[in-house]
Chains A and B, each alone.
Chain A
Amino acid sequence: MLGAGLDTSREMTQEVKMKTILITGASSGIGLETARTLIRQGYSVIGVARSEANCDRAKEMILSDNPNAKIIFFMADLMQQREVVRVAEEITLYLNEKCSGELYALINNAGCVRSWYMTTDEGYEQQFALNHLAGFLLTHKLLPALIKAQGRVIMTGSESHKGIKVRWDNIMLSRRYNPLTAYKQSKLCNILFAKGLNDRYAAAGIRAYVVDPGLVNTDIGSKETGALVNFIWSVRKRYGVPPSVPAKTYEFLCEQKFPPDGLYYYFCKEKNYSKQVTSQNADRLFELSERLCDIRYEKV
């Protein structure tokens, strides 16, 4: 009897407890706007970003909207794997201490565009390393917290993932580097990763999605890129929607009581994705990425 009573009270505290959502690349653009939107919906948000100055600015902006907002930032350059591992450990400690070890949603949003072939400390091509591998490794490290909360994993994808295949023989494109190909391929990897996660963990209660934000007016094309990419992006982004528009799709995916069945979402609606997105390709990407991150996603 006593035991049953305790269980009921625990269930009640769970109901009023805030759900925690982690967003990478949360100090600007789509990540920041999504953080603001989700905080308005009553979530507690953990942001990850690279620069201290930008984190402070973002936090200030969020707190000026709502002084009671539950927001905390962790700093990490997610392009470097040791940074992903370090920040994942810090976040796990935080989740265990403040959120009963539960992570309701992980939004792998951090991404970059490059004009030239550049590498991370591991010698991995930077767009592939940040846009795909960082999320792949971070999700693995936070899997226990996600399973505990029956959580959701959401990737920031792009319509540009269509019309391209993964270059399995040289995924870092170190022989003939084309910045746009590298970007498109990394976005195809995002959706293959989500597909593979669903294949492996849907039974454990985790669902993965990819959001196509559309053309959004952010600074992604002007951060650490060359003059040409910078110029093209400065013209192109003027036709983009503000980041608050795609933020609604992330909110939609988090707010559904029962996880939706789709994989790829645009304006809160399911959308068709590339024919390259198959379980076979997802398995192949998992195998390769596991090797590149030295981890193993166990099948449940």
Chain B
Amino acid sequence: MNVMITGAAGGLGRTFANECARRGYNLFLTDINEEGLLCLKRGLERQFDVVVTKAACDLTDAENVDRMLDMIDKYEIRFDMLLNIAGLDYEGGFMERDREKLVKIVSLNNAATLRITHAVFKRRRTCRPFTIVFVSSLASMFPMPLKATYAATKRFLLDFAVSLRHELKNENVNILTLCPGGMVTTNETMCSIRAQGFWGNVTTNPLEFVARKTIDHALTGKNIYVPGKLNQVLSFLSKIIPRSWAAALIYMRWHHVQSKWMKNNSANTAELQQDAT
């Protein structure tokens, strides 16, 4: 099995790469972080007997992606699975964020995901099933004030994936959309989950569990995977609660969490600046 993983050097990407390598899959890893890719490739090759290929690439840059595809074609690499992990978010309300950073969320989470999905699907191994995983989020189920752009990009992925699944239903393709709650992928996400207190803890999904179950479900042709019982209840509620009510509730919660988190963060930054002087 040949698997391409985007965003492989991040916390979630690394966990998926580990899970795939443990299953004996050969890996093609891409990420914008070249050094991270190199470290991960080394780590995987030392642990598992699999072939690991890497290519640093900014997926939001079409030329950059073309160069990577040329390399893939040159070595005639063909794929059985694509894990679309690359994605990003920045904390803070819409008007408080940098304009170009906001646009970057959409260009990576959506435009780049379309670009790579199209390209890799064209390079599938013939006569074998092909599997695609999109990483959406529990946030895709609700309108999310203060995380509006991020949540909307995740909604895009959910709707797109469900539609694509039908478009390609006769092509021997499995398409799974993963909609997790919070996951502890970095120290920053851990701080953010801590700031969310009780709700942060109970909606957090263990990374290694999510990675394993996602691959299992994708291979058996499941459509949408929401890990965790509580998250499944929340996902059900999203279908019956009026969207404006949900938005009001979520605003109240995130307003509190973000101000707490931003305050902690600015306190840390102030402390560091003070130490530096």
Contacts and interface: CB of A to CB of B under 8 A. Distances in A.
Given A122-B43, A227-B194, A117 B208 contact: yes
Nearest to A82: B39
B78 interface: no
Interface in B196-241: 197-198, 200-201, 204, 206-209, 212
B187 to A, nearest CB: 6
B201 A226 contact: yes
A224 B272 CA distance: 17
B40 interface: yes
B5 to A, nearest CB: 11
Contacts of A117: 15, 184, 206-208
Nearest to A119: B14
A131 interface: no
A124 B45 CA distance: 12
A118 interface: yes
A123 B44 contact: yes
A contact patch SS:
loop
Interface in A106-129: 115-124
Contact of A118 (B9, B184, B276): B184
Nearest to B19: A174
B92 interface: no
A53 interface: yes
Interface string B258-271: 00000000000001
A124 B271 CA distance: 31
B265 to A, nearest CB: 14
Interface in A209-266: 224, 226-228, 230
B47 interface: yes
A56 interface: yes
Contacts of B204: 116, 226
A275 interface: no
Contact of B208 (A82, A120, A174, A294): A174
16 contacts: A80-B39, A115-B184, A116-B204, A116-B207, A117-B207, A117-B208, A119-B11, A119-B14, A119-B18, A120-B43, A122-B43, A123-B17, A123-B39, A226-B190, A226-B193, A226-B201
Interface of B: 9, 11, 14-15, 17-19, 22, 35-36, 39-40, 42-44, 46-47, 184-185, 187, 190, 193-194, 197-198, 200-201, 204, 206-209, 212, 271-272, 275-276
Given A119-B15, A170-B22, A172-B18, 12 more contacts: A52-B276, A53-B272, A56-B275, A115-B184, A116-B184, A116-B204, A118-B190, A121-B14, A172-B47, A174-B22, A174-B208, A177-B206
Interface of A: 52-53, 56, 80-82, 115-124, 170, 172, 174-175, 177, 224, 226-228, 230, 291-292, 294
Q: Which 3 A-B pairs have the closest CB atoms?
A: A122-B43, A121-B39, A53-B275
